[in-house]
Amino acid sequence: MSELASTPWQPSAGAAQPVRIASRKSELALAQTHWVMEQLQAHHPGLPLELHTLSTQGDIILDVALAKIGDKGLFTKELEVSLLNGSSDLAVHSLKDLPTRLPEGLVLGAITQREDPLDALVLREELRGYQLATLPAGTVIGTSSLRRLAQLRHAFPHLHFKDVRGNLNTRLAKLDRGEYDGLILAVAGLKRLGQEQRIHEVLDPSVSLYAVGQGSLGIECRQGDERILELIRPLADAEATARCLAERAFLRALEGGCQVPIGVHSQVRGEELHLTGMVADLEGRRLIRDTQTGSTADPEAVGVALAEKLKQQGADEILQAIFAQARR
Ligand code: DPM
């Protein structure tokens, strides 16, 4: 912390320095950040909080497919810069948007309790009653997630997939205007925006594994900022932390970012952590999937071991081909 925070005239309790919270401006980001602020307020009554909203590259570049921008930290970098230059104290992210390697000097201070991590199908009203398996051939499904694309192409080759960008409400509006017949979206985001009633089908993990960290929030802060680390500690959820650390270690070991077809499914049963992971090619032709069990005491070891298993089955080859294609 800066020397300012401990100047002698500052009473130790009471008039505390406001905690400056960095957030993106989208409706979903603000809903998530407000939830974090409520939690902080509940655990530390009277703690002054200040909201700083920022736009990230991902909010500004809206006309290019995510996979083509492909920059790591598309939705997080500007928030991290504000932490590093001292203009904010903590940043709230959708954990799945946060790269698995953080910039020097920043840490993941807390991983919050997880909302439902599964993906969902939202259809045009006229198609109510259909499911992915029963939709007519050629039905147009919007997603710009290579992970969703690869798995759904694999399971439902009769469907047609089309890129879609923009925040959640923009996407739903495009669906309602008839630009798509359906969309694949995270259950968590729909729930947080009160749009849960629009879900037609929740995708079973046997069909589609979710993104690393999906449904959890990551609170990032400066390494060694003990005051902030102490304040956010009560927001950490032990089970979500074990699961997400395992998932992130898996993704890190595969050198995967948010733009590779990699999915996971994790469960904690007692002291045991079960992690399933998959790597697929973009066409959904090859799909490698396996499971690793280990101890919740060392979740990252479970993720690393699972990555090793998938590499032995050819995951590296698939990912190298995708990286080579992306560079072209
Ligand atoms: C990342 C992906 C997507 C977001 C890629 C993926 C989805 C992009 C798309 C890394 N970030 O999931 O394979 O479908 O076109 C995003 C959403 C949420 C956080 C929206 C969503 C809300 C859910 C959460 C975008 N980031 O996935 O429907 O907080 O986990």
Q: Which residues pair with residue 121 across a beta bridge?
A: 184, 201
Q: Is the CB of 96 under 6 A from ligand 1?
A: yes
Only one residue has tokens 């939709």, namely: 135
Ligand 1 pocket test: which of 26, 61, 76, 96 has the largest number of ligand atoms within 8 Å of its C-beta? 96
What does the pLDDT read at residue 328? 67
Q: Is the CB of 185 under 6 A from ligand 1?
A: yes
Q: Is the CB of 144 under 6 A from ligand 1?
A: yes
What does the pLDDT read at residue 258? 56
Nearest atom of ligand 1 to the alpha carbon of 259 = 5
Nearest atom of ligand 1 to the alpha carbon of 148 = 13
Q: CA distances (Å), 280 to each of 155, 157, 192, 266, 284, in order? A: 12, 15, 29, 18, 6
What contacts 177, CB < 8 A, 6 or more positions away? Answer: none
What does the pLDDT read at residue 55? 85
What does the pLDDT read at residue 64? 60
Nearest atom of ligand 1 to the alpha carbon of 214 = 30
Q: Is the CB of 32 under 6 A from ligand 1?
A: no
Which residue, by CA, sits nearest to atom 20 of ligand 1?
A: 186
The answer to whether 291 and 274 are in contact (CB under 8 A) is yes
At 27, list the tokens: 């409706």
Which residue, by CA, sits nearest to atom 27 of ligand 1?
A: 186
Q: Is the CB of 33 under 6 A from ligand 1?
A: no
Reference 315, options 229, 233, 253, 238; nearest CA is 253
- Show the domains of the chain with their CATH numbers: 1-113+217-236 (3.40.190.10), 119-202 (3.40.190.10), 237-328 (3.30.160.40)
Which residue, by CA, sits nearest to atom 25 of ligand 1?
A: 97
- C-alpha to C-alpha distance for 183 and 223, rounded to whole angstroms: 39
- Residues of the chain below pLDDT 70: 1-15, 61-72, 257-258, 328
Ligand 1 pocket test: which of 26, 97, 152 has the largest number of ligand atoms within 8 Å of its C-beta? 97
Active site residues: 97
Q: Is the CB of 244 under 6 A from ligand 1?
A: no
Kindly compute the dihedral angle of the four CA atoms of residues 249, 253, 258, 264, in this order, to the nearest 10 degrees.
-60
- C-alpha to C-alpha distance for 260 and 272, rounded to whole angstroms: 28
Q: Is the CB of 147 under 6 A from ligand 1?
A: yes
Nearest atom of ligand 1 to the alpha carbon of 183 = 14
